[in-house]
Structures are given as structure tokens and as C-alpha cells.
Chain A
Amino acid sequence: MAEAKLNKLNLTEKDYDGAPSTMCKGCGHDAISASVQRAYYESSIDPRKVVKLSGIGCSSKTPAYFLSQSFGFNAVHGRMSAVATGVNLANHMLLPIGVSGDGDTSAIGLGNFCHMMRRNVNITYIIENNGVYGLTKGQFSATADVGSVMKGGKVNDIPAIDLAELAITLGATYIARSFSGDRKQLTPLVQGALAHKGSAILDVISPCVTFNNHEGSTKSLKYVKGHLDPIHDLDFIPPYENIEADYDEGTDHEVEMHDGSRIVLHKLGKGYDPTNKAAAIQAIHGAIAEGKFLTGLIYYNPNRKEFAEELNLCDIPLSELGQDHLQPPLEALERINADMMK
């Protein structure tokens, strides 16, 4: 047997394994977990610095299925954004990844999700988007497209929330869309998100093979595959790799990340600039009008501070501060007492 390849931390991809998955056979979520695992391995990230967070739903179970060496927190329905914000405040040295679903994020947790992005909390936030509630057996979610048909024949007539567009509007700073089955595209996008400091939102279309994979569904495997509209091909180059990317001066675009890593976007003849907010929103609208899923790095803003930095939190994580730092001196209380005597 060939020896397993080691990354920069001398870890094999297997060292990033989690518990065995309990998803349905063929579920898109498992493919995403595999890409996530690959991304951590490829980027040589220490799993002990990672915290995995989730809400409730099929997708929210998946953090148990990768990186078992990391701390994990499967919270309550819709509240992962708030919990992640608190984790960041307590210890901004941790590397948080959140996995959520379209119900968890776009319905019950929409408010908290919006405000997390508004604050630009540092997190890699993956939405495993299948347009349907799986654990409760097949109800429409808020990302179900107009005209999409439920298994029993019911037709959705309320417009979908486009999470990528919402993320752009609310201040998230790294926004991508991909497809669970496109590992070649998804893995570098996750690597880019992991390298980014701020709210990195990945809306990943992940067909539900049990409740939303039938004729008439716009999130079925067949439908999604037939309607993908990639903006570019992309490569992620970690900071320690000095390799020259395959770079075409005429059409390619390079995005430099905070930690020195780079994403090279090979444009598919579309002249797309991911740092242009208005153009990004226009591109999303254009794709929706054509019934397509725009995929790739849709928007990137390297100039906004992440929340902990914005709050000017001290370098030592608050969770590590002891009494000597936290408890003010007695004399200070005596001064306050004296003021209160006036």
C-alpha cells in the first residue's frame, strides 16, 4: 500500500476524518463534508484550532463527520450565527466553521444570520442548500424556487431568498456559491473561505436525494447539474506554496487573501470582477432570470475588519484572561464609592 501523503503539519487526510456519516446514501452533504475535509488537509490547518458549529437539521449534523480532533458545537435551530459570534468574542484565535441548512439559515435563523454578516464575524459559514426540510420529511424551505414541485405535487409560489445576494447586501466579505458534486470547484472555494478573515458565506447547492430529487424540483441532482453556470475555474494557492499558477494574463484574475494565500480565477470569457458589489448582484439576478445557478467566487471584500478586530479585542483571548486582568483594583471601587457619596 502506498504511504499516505502528508501535509505541512505532517498529517494525512485521514487525520481530518470524523465519525461515520448518518446521512442518506448519496446525500450531497456527504460530498460537501469530503470537500471540507480535503480543504483543511490541503491548507494544512491544525484541527485543534478549529471549532465546528452548527444549528439543527440534516446539514447541522455533518460537523460530526469531519475533523474529530476539533471541538464541535451542535446548537439549537437557527442560532448558530449567534453562538458563533459569542465563540468569536470569547476566543478570536479559534478558526470557526459553521455548517447550516437552508431552513436553519434562511428561515428560523435568518435574523441572526443577517446580523452576523452585518458584524462581519470571522467564520466560514457553509449552507448546505437543498430547498427542503429533510429531518421533518420534505417541507419547502425559504430557498425553494418559485414553481418548484414538492414530492406530493404541491407547487411553491413564494419567491426564494437568494442567500448569496443577501450576504452581499448585508456586509459579508467572502461570498461563493457552488455545487456539492463539484469538488474541483468547491474545495478551493472552502480553502479560500478558511483563509479569509471575516464572514465567508458559501451557499452550496446540495440535492436532497430522498425528499427533493424528483421531476419538477429545481434542486434535484439532474436539474442542478443541467443548470450550473460557473463564472470561472479557480485554483487556491496556500501561502507556503511558491508555485506558479496557470495564469493567463489576458483573462485571469488573482485574489490575494489576508494570510498571503491566493485564489486564481480563470475567467470563462465573462470578464467578472468579484470585488465589484453592484456587478455581483447584477450577475446573480441575471442567472436567476435564466433559471441558472451562478457558481464561483461571487464577491470578495478584503478591506473590511472582522468583528473582533473592529471591537479592538485584546490579543489574549478573553477566555484565557485571569483574575489579575479581569478584576479591577480595590482602590477603584473606593473611588466609585466616594463618588456615590456626593
Chain B
Amino acid sequence: MDTPLINDLNICVATENGSGSASSNNILFKAIFKMGIPCSSKNMFPSNIQGLPTWYQIRACADGYMSRKDVIDVMVTFNEATAAKDIYRVRDGGIILYDDSTPLQANLKRDGVQCVGFPANKLVAKLVPASPLRAKQRNMVYVGALAYLFGIDMAVIKAVLEDTFGKKPAVIESNMVCIDAGYQYCKEQGVKQNIARLEPIPGGNQGKILTEGNTAAALGAIYGGASVICWYPITPSSSLAESMEYYLPRLRKPIDGKKPYAIVQAEDEIASVGMIVGAGWAGARSMTSTSGPGLSLMNESIGLAYFAEIPCVFFIIQRGGPSTGLPTRTQQADISLMYNASHGDTRHIILIPHDMNSCFDLARQSFNYADRFQTPVFVAMDLDLGMNMWSSEPLKLNQEVYDQGKRLSAQDLEEWTKAGKKFRRYFDQDGDGIPYRTVPGNQNRMASYFTRGSGHNADARYSEDEHDYKYILDRLRKKFDTSRKFVPKPIIEKERGVRTGIICYGSSYEPVREARHRLKARGLKTNHMLIRALPLTSEVTDFLAEHDTVYLVEQNRDAQMAAIIKDENPLLGAKITSILVYNGLPVSAGEVVKQIFDAAQTAKTA
């Protein structure tokens, strides 16, 4: 028999949603984390409150890779509705855990795997008085079974329960009893497995935090000075606004007992965008969070903010589209929509975080970009980044001074008057395409102007004149091009002499990092570029020029980022081979590796 792998294990738990498995899975995951083992979790949940299938994957990986693994070592089949399929998702030689006290489960059989049954229902019936809670406690039994099988320290589980339910000793006790029952049952039955062991790594996750991208971004927005937040509930973005609702009163000191921020749950996304455009115009740092359908609704006012040059920030947590699509699954298919949101010629700045710290930091910086460029700024995230629990270095605060851009105070205008300078709202004073602005409340005589989404001239007067109109459109383009020099540059990892490059962005970063490791092991060395913003910077062109073949990994069907790159680099763009993952699941390294080898093979035969 093979020796077990140490700290290399991928567990998938199949349950019904609303059955309490979120709790048991969380405890399982945190216990492995607390043992110091590098680990990650992916929650693949339905758009439903109760009764539909849900899967939760926990991956322990000694090498520290955090992406979803598509090879499943252990399947906990606690959902009768999907069990027949689920048992075939385990790799050969893997393990199936099931509740053998339910009749259907007992009939499920598959060759080439080890089946471990334990009577979770029966055990819980004995331990927990009949109550709605009993069904939920059933899930705690598999935590205990897994703990026994793979060596999760029961003392650590207890500690996690205490962290989670600190003030409710009765809850801790009742959960622990069920976990212990699973553990003891497997022990008494002498169940053995030999595929993997989880071994504590002293100090392993020391200093690491566990958080979700939406929380990190919410905190970043608070540190970045967001003061008007208008939003409408939509998965997977709601938890971003809700995190702000939770943290703002705890973090931002009241002024004379009153709030230095406004959070408004709007009546729809059309209203939330209208509100943040109004607030941005009036000088507040304003933001909303939404996902695809909300972004579609917001389009008209995004164009208004672009054309009237109003700062505001949009956190877009992408999910599966089009239409309602897969509301609880992940995708990066709104890149084109963000980049060109609204009718007419529009281009928008997009910041693209790829991990917890960049969610925090780009959220913070987004308000500086919006103010500096007086334009809507998008922070493009996705469900995988936003709603899954990631282990990360602690959030780091860059304490740079807020950049308010070219906003003139009454005093500034006084000095302008003395210097014989005239304030012209939409005039390119500095040759960088960025005009100066004032905000209402400015008492200087020169300050006021009339904002409109209709044609206007450099002095903010209504105009349908062809020269006036073209001047504004061209200046907006110039402003956009100026932003190329300011947006976050890509992160590049390269070695001399390597001729194959991989480009990706956002949540594809982690699977690509792992894929490169695997490709290297199989003889294909690659360089890497992580795009962190649109518009594209010159580094992208350089990267294309430096490589013979460039694989661009993205999570949409139509290669949306590739289209943007090819549009700006028509010749070099021909080097791009798109690697597209758009099944709604977080990208796995295995999928990337497979597609790259397939593409290389096709290229060779051609």
C-alpha cells in the first residue's frame, strides 16, 4: 500500500442548502487552517434558501496552492438528491463518506473507492432531543468522522467552536457531542484509510488571516473614505455593502454623535447609481456595489457620469451571466460591459484585484482614481474572490494622502482670479485631458456651472455645435489615455530566455500560479503577467512582444480581455491563445494545464 500523502487532500462535502452544513463546513475548514496547514475553501451554492444541492470543497495543500482542485479525494455524500452522481466525482482510490442509517445511501455502491459509512442520523437521534436543530446537528457527525480518518485534532476543533460560538457554551457543547460521536464511531469500527494524513504545522498559518474579498473590499472602501454608499441587494455583491454597514459604525468615529457616512438601500440599481452620481457631483466619495444585472440597469447613468465627468465608484462582483444566469456561481464575463458601459463612445477605468490585499488596497485607491480622473471607476471582482474564504497575509494599509484631483475650493478660485485665470469646467487647462472642477456649496462667484448629460462646450454651456461636441469627446479620450500612466501596473514574473507567456487577471491568478508550477514540472517554462487594470499599460504590449506564444486565461466565453488587448495591439495580439473557463466554477489549475497542452498540441499539428 502507498504511504499516505501529508497535508495534501481535497475534500468535497455534498449537502442540501439550508441544512446547517455552512456551519459544519466552516468549522472543518477553520480547524485545518488552525492546524497550520495551507488550505482553501470553495463554496458552490445554489440560488435558493433551503433544499437545493450545495457543495463545499476544502483543499489542504502543503505547497500552498489555493485554487479549486478538480480531483476530489474524499466525497461526503450527505445529499440523497445528488449522491448517485457525487459518488462518481471521487477519484479512483478515493473515499466516499456516507450516512449508512439512511436507506437510499446504503444502496449506493461504486467500485475502486473506499466507502466509509457511519450512522449519522441514528447517532444524532440518540444525542439530540427532537427539534429543528437535530437535522442540522447531523452535519456535525461528518466533521468528527473526517477528523478521525485524517487526523484533525479534536482539541483544535473545540477551539474553533469556542471562537465561533464564544458566548454560547450550550451550542459549543451540543455541536461537540455530535462531532465526537462521529469520531468515536469510526474509531470503534476501526476504520482505516491510507490516502492522506493531516499533520499540524507549528506556526504554519501564523499571522495569516481568513477573509472574503467582499469584506476586504468593504474595509478598503472605508479606509479610502467612501461616505455615500447606495446599493441594492444582489448576489454576490450584497455582503460588500453589508460589511460596510457592519464596519462603518465600528470604524469611523461619529462627529458630535452624528454619522460621517450615509448608507442607503435603494429601491433598485437605477436609483442607487442615480444617488451616487448625485453625491459624487456634490463632492462626496460615493460608491455602489452590484453584479451583472445591476450593472446592466445602471448603464444610462454611468454614461451621464462619464460625459458630465463625475467621480463615483462601482464594485462589480461578477457572477454567471447572461440574464439571471448563474447568480451564485463565478465568472469574469462583464469586462466588456464595464469597459464600455453606457451608450455612445465610452471607456472606463477598471481596477482588478486578485487577492485579499488587492481587494482592500484597490478598493481604497479607487476613490483617488475617481476623483483624479473625475469619472466612474470600476472595481472588477467576482464571486470566487468576493464570497469564498481566502487565507491571506493581514490587510496592509498604505497611509498615502487622499488624492482629490483638480477640485478647486473657493480660496483656490480667489487665487485664480488674482492670477487672471478663468475657471472653465470642461476646458483642458493642463493638456492632460483632465479639467478642473468645483462642487456645489463653493461660495466663490466663479464656482457655479450647469452640469448636463447633453452636449456642452468647454464652459459647460449647452451646445450642439460640432466643434464643441468633438472637443469634449476627444478630451475625454485624452483623459482616458492619461490614466494609463496612473493605473496599477501589471505584476510580471519572468525569466530570461522563456518564450511562452501566460496572462491572466483577477481570481484566475491563483490557479494560474499553480498551473505554471505544473507546466514547469512537465517541461514547459512560462513567464507570467497579471493585469491589474484597464486601460492597458505599455507593459502589456512589451510582454506580447517579448514572447512567441501568449496564453490568456479568462473566465468568459468570448475572450473579452483578449479582444481589448487585440484591439490595441492588432499585430502582436495574434500571439494570443485564449484559455477560457466559463462553467461557473472557480478555475482549477488542472483545467488551465489541460487547455494549454491541448492548445500547444493543436498548434504543433497545424
Chain A residues in the interface with B (C-beta under 8 A): 19, 48-49, 51, 53, 63-64, 68-76, 79, 81-91, 93-94, 111-112, 114-115, 308, 311-323, 325-328, 330, 332-334, 336-337, 340-342
Contacts and interface: CB of A to CB of B under 8 A. Distances in A.
B285 interface: yes
Nearest to A50: B440
Contacts of A73: 278, 281, 308, 450-452
Contacts of A71: 440, 447-451
Given A76-B453, A320-B283, A330-B397, A325 B278 contact: no
23 contacts: A64-B450, A75-B274, A82-B273, A82-B278, A83-B275, A83-B278, A84-B278, A85-B274, A86-B279, A87-B279, A87-B282, A90-B228, A91-B441, A93-B441, A313-B262, A321-B227, A325-B252, A326-B227, A330-B397, A336-B219, A340-B394, A341-B210, A341-B394
Contacts of A334: 394
Contact of B274 (A63, A64, A69, A79): A79
Interface in B412-462: 439-443, 445, 447-454, 461-462
Nearest to A322: B402
Contacts of B254: 314
B304 interface: yes
Interface residues of B, number: 75
B470 interface: no
Contact of B225 (A64, A115, A327): A327
B168 to A, nearest CB: 16
Given A72-B450, A340-B209, A85 B395 contact: no
B261 A75 contact: no
B441 A94 contact: yes
Contact of A89 (B228, B395, B439): B228
Contacts of A327: 223-225, 399, 402
Contacts of A328: 222-223, 251-253
Given A76-B304, A318-B227, 6 more contacts: A79-B271, A115-B271, A311-B259, A321-B225, A328-B222, A342-B163
B258 A314 contact: yes
Nearest to A108: B270
A69 B454 CA distance: 20
Contacts of A48: 442-443, 447-448
Contacts of B395: 333, 336-337
Interface string B242-284: 0000010011111111111110101110111111111111111
B199 interface: no
Nearest to B310: A73
Contact of B275 (A70, A82, A313, A315): A82
A53 B277 CA distance: 12
Contacts of B541: none
A288 B454 CA distance: 38
Given A86-B228, A90-B286, A341 B278 contact: no
A318 B443 contact: no
Q: Which 4 interchain pairs have the tightest Cβ spacing?
A: A82-B274, A86-B278, A319-B283, A90-B284
B271 A321 contact: no
Contact of A79 (B224, B301, B308, B397): B301
Interface string B359-387: 00000000000000000000000000000
Contacts of B258: 312-315
A322 B261 CA distance: 12
B603 interface: no
B467 to A, nearest CB: 20
B277 A75 contact: yes
Contacts of A79: 270-271, 274, 300-301
B211 interface: yes
B230 to A, nearest CB: 7
B284 A318 contact: yes
A317 B227 CA distance: 10
B401 interface: yes
Contact of B401 (A64, A82, A323): A323
A322 B371 CA distance: 13
Contacts of A19: 461
A81 B308 CA distance: 18
Given A111-B271, A337-B394, A91 B260 contact: no
A36 B283 CA distance: 26
B283 A311 contact: no
Contacts, number: 225
B219 to A, nearest CB: 7
B547 interface: no
A139 B439 CA distance: 37
A82 B442 CA distance: 22
Given A76-B304, A86-B278, A319 B439 contact: yes
B333 to A, nearest CB: 26
Contact of A76 (B257, B276, B300): B300
B454 A74 contact: yes
A276 B397 CA distance: 55
A112 B274 contact: yes
Interface string B386-416: 0000000011010101100000000000000
Contacts of B89: none
Nearest to B162: A342
Contacts of B256: 314-315
B286 A86 contact: yes
B344 interface: no
A94 B285 CA distance: 17
Contacts of B454: 74
Contacts of B280: 86, 90
A94 B282 contact: yes
Nearest to B456: A74
A74 B450 contact: yes
Nearest to A307: B264
Contacts of A69: 445, 448
B301 A323 contact: no
Contacts of B268: 111
Given A83-B277, A318-B227, A341-B209, A112 B453 contact: no
Nearest to B283: A319
A115 B267 contact: yes
B91 interface: no
A333 B268 CA distance: 32
A314 B283 contact: no
Contact of B278 (A64, A85, A321, A340): A85
Contact of A75 (B279, B304, B449): B304
A75 to B, nearest CB: 6
A60 to B, nearest CB: 10
Nearest to B267: A115
A312 B282 CA distance: 19
A300 to B, nearest CB: 25
A328 B219 CA distance: 10
A93 to B, nearest CB: 7
A308 B258 CA distance: 11
Contacts of B279: 86-87, 89-90, 318-319
Contacts of A63: 450
B277 A51 contact: no
Contacts of A313: 258-259, 262
A119 to B, nearest CB: 8
B202 interface: no
Contact of A111 (B264, B267, B402): B267
B353 to A, nearest CB: 17
A316 B399 CA distance: 24
B463 to A, nearest CB: 12
Contact of B255 (A86, A88, A325, A340): A325
A315 B257 CA distance: 10
Interface string B277-312: 111111111100000000000001100100010000
B132 interface: no
Contacts of A91: 282-284, 439-441
Contacts of A68: 448
B45 to A, nearest CB: 22
B2 to A, nearest CB: 35
Contact of A86 (B219, B276, B397): B276
